[in-house]
Structure 1
Amino acid sequence: MLSGEIRDVVMLSLATVGIIWYLALWSIGLFGCWSARKRYRLRPRSPLATAASAPGVSILRPLKGLDTNLYENLESTFQQEYPNYEIIFSVAEENDQALPIVRELMSKYPRVQTAVIIGKKTRSFAFDERGLRCCPGEEVVGVNPKVNNLIRSYRQAAHDILWVLDSNVMVDPGTLARSVDAMDAPPPPGSPPPPRRIAVVHHVPFAFAAEAKLGSRIEEAFLNTNHAKMYIAINTVAIESCVVGKSNLYRRSDLERVNGSLKAISPNDTLQQDDRGLAAFGRFLAEDNMIASSLWHELGLRHSLSCDVARNVVGNMTLGDYVWRRVRWIRVRKHMVLAATLVEPFTESVMLSAIAVSSLKYLFAIPPWITLLLHYSVWLSVDLDVYASLAGHPLPASIRWEFLGAWAARELLALPIYLLAIFGDEVMWRGNRYQVLRNGEVRRAASGDTGYFRRLVPKRRSREHYEPLPHTVT
């Protein structure tokens, strides 16, 4: 008799906790949807677009090879409605296939101050409208190839405000002005000043698939719905740093004061400059997240989401590419935010639906089919509303069924991918194998077998040709 009473108490407690968790996650999702509507459905023109006193900005774009839609991606930075900026492109090799496209754009926009730095060879060259200049020497500051590629551009940038943009990102012409506004603008008249200065302005990725590949569609569905919803909600509440590195603005003077330790720096601390700045983040795989976290925790500064999106062009991504991309970042997050990573499966729609079914059936005898029907109908509606806020229009009819199928596949794959990721520490990134260490640091893994599961997935085909995409994307 006693054991039955204990069992009833345990079941009641679990069902109650399940309902509370379910409602809490729905609150976060709905808050993210509401925040997306409020932030992204109106993008006013910034007064900085024509202001003679606009602060200078150095746009840093690291390149490697011919990414999908590369010409339009890079051209979008030449078309910024902003009076005071320069663009610095950086590549690791002198024969990189991106260089002819860069030179063509430099010829097309001669009034934009532009330079190219080639930094991995024993001799590196920078091209600008004045001709050719040489920068001898090789500089490798860590295992992260993106940081190695950026380090010379970072040091040669003329301005303190840096805008680091991945090569597969396209931005609207008003993005830079609105982003500097978010970083530097004073509060409206009568409003109290913000408690902490803004150190990072970032943009939520909005993906569009250039090809109707399964992996590309799933990545598009993931980034434009569940990822965006949670990303916007977390950054609106702003109780912790949460930044991805597709498109970030920050000040070099701030970055020169941090080193990735995440330990608060007091005004009396003696700073050793040789272990601070961008070079200090070459030991991390997710250097973008660590830079933002360091500015948050070491300097006590804060971040701001702009009302613009980083239009992330997704190329030829197979299902295997998608799976291993997700595995990589789950394994990195596991070593950076373990607690959040451990509860991640219980934030996904499939696990939440199972929690809701069992809890509601036990507490209120609600049939499972009713719970499932309501759960997935409302979940999908919220996700599509987030998509419409970011895109500026509802889901196009031309891709409706492909997108919905990819959305369903993403939800069903979330738990299997998580289970595959959580029990490993090695990742593949840009053709190299790394072992993820404490706090998200990495080291090159020893050569050898990549594992049974990795052999099941075909290798990604290399891109030999530039894949153009029309300017108007739906």
Structure 2
Amino acid sequence: MTLTVHFLPLLTCNLKTPFLVSDDAMSVEPRLILASVGLLWYAALWFISIVGCSTARKRYRLRPRSPLAAAPASSVPGVSILRPLKGLDTNLYENLESTFTQEYPNYEILLSVADERDQALPVARELMTKYPNVNCRIIIGEEIVGANPKVNNLIRSYRQAAHDILWVIDSNVTVHSGTLARSVDALTGPPGPARKRRIALVHHVPFAVVTEPRIGSRIEEAFLNTNHAKMYLAINTMAVDSCVMGKSNLYRRSDLERVNGSLKPVRQNTSAEQPGPCGLPAFGPFLAEDNMIASALWHELGERHDLSCDVARNAIGNMSLWDYILRRVRWIRVRKHMVLAATLAEPFTESVVLSAIGAASLGCLFGVPYWISLLAHFAIWVFVDLDVYASLAGHPLPSDIRWQFMAAWAARELLALPIFLFAICGSEVSWRGRAYRVLRNGQVARAESRSWFHRLRRAKDYEPLPTDL
């Protein structure tokens, strides 16, 4: 075979030997293939980041008032607001009050507590006295349908709700007074060119608000308000699959009563439902019941989700660095048993690992010095993240927290890989002082082991679950 030697200066990858190209085929170094794949991945992640940033600008910088806010009560669908309570969450009074002041003419509030001695009850009763014209009830007592205490707490409210549309909102979340009206608009609006399928769930991107500036709180704030929000918005904009965080979700009880979390499509019939137990009780075995409910509506009913132009303002209280780490560990371990492939790919989407991939690929293919690639990468990455923050907050990053925020942002980026490696190697998690073992598909059971992890996180007032799964 006759060989012709060609020197390709842009693709040398610092090799001393040029490439050999035959008349029939070209011998390509494996590292060139890896570099090309790496560059494609790098470009794809930047595309996703720009989509997230662009979505934040378009959707959240202008929040118009919904016409439903001033409509007669008889002309709008009723909504039951379900808020599960447990203890004195950060800013509890302000969080709950934000649902009493919704600009919407037809809604009720159901406040759920598992124990009649719960410290949240005096706060709830004070607000009911302050707003006597708001239809609000307190539901005391839980029903054990699984290991998830939030679901157990909500079951009675779920069954007693007067309306089909349910707004389930966590007790540590504050919302704008126009959120409900805009969300009902998104849920019930007519189909259009961009809405080819019926909307079954409306959710809100979490936006962290720090009340106690501890290091863990600041890192959580930096994470939720930049990278998490950016990726969350991008994935939901591209709508390739369900991606929902359950701080604040609207959906119809009639839809939920047709699904069971199996993620198997039901028959293409408007009245078809899954066999066996359905509805909220079916999601009691899942720790991430919010994500499973959203996935069930997506995959079992074939319907879609939407975001309104509101955020769920998540009050972050006294969070230590270790608390932050364990929070991230918990959700990585849950996701690992729900979407393994996506979880394993997660480290390669983080800025530190991604910058290394980009620098190595550009250096190999085009001879770009590593330091230039890294410097450009982080400069643009920070700019995009801060732009997302400004869109969601409605203002740029305040100057009085600028350096604290940037230090926390850097710490979050550096900790992402070590936390992932720690999380991926186990299946035990701790939540509200209770230890769980994550099973297949995100279901959980009480952890019987007494590992160092459990002993370290066991709360002083730990109470075992009343039932085992």
TM-score, normalised by the number of residues in structure 2:
0.90
Q: 1:399 offset after TM fit, Å?
A: 0.6
2 CA distance for matches of 1:181 and 1:449? 49
Equivalent in the alignment of 1:198: 199
Worse overlay, 249-258 or 193-202 = 193-202
Instruction: Indicate whether 1:177 and 2:205 are aligned.
Output: no
Equivalent in the alignment of 2:7: none
Equivalent in the alignment of 2:242: 241
Name the amino acid aligned to 2:439.
L
Q: 1:459 offset after TM fit, Å?
A: 7.2
Q: 1:63 offset after TM fit, Å?
A: 0.3
Q: 1:335 offset after TM fit, Å?
A: 0.7
Change (3 A) 1:377 1:192: closer
Equivalent in the alignment of 2:45: 25
Equivalent in the alignment of 2:6: none
Instruction: Indicate whether 1:72 and 2:74 are aligned.
Output: no
2 CA distance for matches of 1:17 and 1:23? 10
Equivalent in the alignment of 2:220: 219
Instruction: Indicate whether 1:167 and 2:171 are aligned.
Output: yes
SS of the residue corresponding to residue 309 of structure 1 reads strand
Q: Given that residues 141 and 279 in structure 1 are in contact (C-alpha distance below 8 angstroms), is that contact kept between their aligned partners in structure 2? A: yes
- How do 1:294-309 residues align onto structure 2 when only pairs under 5 Å count? 294-309=296-311
Change (3 A) 1:365 1:87: same
- How do 1:233-312 residues align onto structure 2 when only pairs under 5 Å count? 233-267=234-268, 271=273, 275-312=277-314
SS of the residue corresponding to residue 445 of structure 2 reads strand
Q: Given that residues 318 and 460 in structure 1 are in contact (C-alpha distance below 8 angstroms), is that contact kept between their aligned partners in structure 2? A: no
Superimposed CA distance per residue, residues 175-226 of structure 1 (whole angstroms, 9 cap, x where no aligned partner) = 0000000011225xxx548321100000000001111100000000000000
What is the percentage of aligned positions where both structures have the same residue? Answer: 71
Equivalent in the alignment of 1:348: 350
2 CA distance for matches of 1:44 and 1:250? 22
Q: Given that residues 19 and 359 in structure 1 are in contact (C-alpha distance below 8 angstroms), is that contact kept between their aligned partners in structure 2? A: yes
Q: 1:54 offset after TM fit, Å?
A: 1.1
Name the amino acid aligned to 2:106.
N
Q: 1:16 offset after TM fit, Å?
A: 0.9
SS of the residue corresponding to residue 26 of structure 1 reads helix
2:34 to 10, 14, 19: 14
- How do 1:349-388 residues align onto structure 2 when only pairs under 5 Å count? 349-388=351-390
1:95 to 99, 114, 117: 117
Superimposed CA distance per residue, residues 76-119 of structure 1 (whole angstroms, 9 cap, x where no aligned partner) = 00000000000000011111000000000000000000000111
Name the amino acid aligned to 2:263.
L
1:425 to 423, 427, 430: 427
Q: 1:369 offset after TM fit, Å?
A: 1.3
1 CA distance for matches of 2:186 and 2:280? 23
SS of the residue corresponding to residue 275 of structure 1 reads coil
1:106 to 112, 124, 128: 128
Aligned length: 437
Superimposed CA distance per residue, residues 336-377 of structure 1 (whole angstroms, 9 cap, x where no aligned partner) = 111100110000000011111211111222111111110000
SS of the residue corresponding to residue 336 of structure 1 reads coil
Equivalent in the alignment of 2:231: 230
Instruction: Indicate whether 1:118 and 2:120 are aligned.
Output: no
1:443 to 442, 445, 449: 445
2 CA distance for matches of 1:336 and 1:193? 29
Q: Given that residues 89 and 116 in structure 1 are in contact (C-alpha distance below 8 angstroms), is that contact kept between their aligned partners in structure 2? A: yes
2 CA distance for matches of 1:460 and 1:175? 36
Q: Given that residues 33 and 229 in structure 1 are in contact (C-alpha distance below 8 angstroms), is that contact kept between their aligned partners in structure 2? A: yes
SS of the residue corresponding to residue 258 of structure 2 reads coil
Q: Given that residues 90 and 153 in structure 1 are in contact (C-alpha distance below 8 angstroms), is that contact kept between their aligned partners in structure 2? A: yes
Equivalent in the alignment of 2:23: none
SS of the residue corresponding to residue 29 of structure 2 reads helix
Name the amino acid aligned to 2:189.
A
Equivalent in the alignment of 2:339: 337
Q: Given that residues 266 and 273 in structure 2 are in contact (C-alpha distance below 8 angstroms), is that contact kept between their aligned partners in structure 1? A: no
Instruction: Quote the RMSD (CA, aligned, Å).
Output: 2.0
1 CA distance for matches of 2:39 and 2:275? 51
1 CA distance for matches of 2:50 and 2:79? 36
Gaps of 5+ in 2: 1-14, 21-26, 462-469
Change (3 A) 1:459 1:272: closer
SS of the residue corresponding to residue 111 of structure 2 reads strand
Gaps of 5+ in 1: 121-138, 463-474
Q: Given that residues 210 and 313 in structure 1 are in contact (C-alpha distance below 8 angstroms), is that contact kept between their aligned partners in structure 2? A: yes
Q: Which has the larger radius of gyration?
A: 2
Change (3 A) 1:270 1:83: closer
2 CA distance for matches of 1:440 and 1:405? 33
Name the amino acid aligned to 1:411.
E
Superimposed CA distance per residue, residues 209-251 of structure 1 (whole angstroms, 9 cap, x where no aligned partner) = 1111000000000000000000000001111100000000000
Equivalent in the alignment of 1:413: 415
TM-score, normalised by the number of residues in structure 1:
0.89
1 CA distance for matches of 2:136 and 2:294? 27
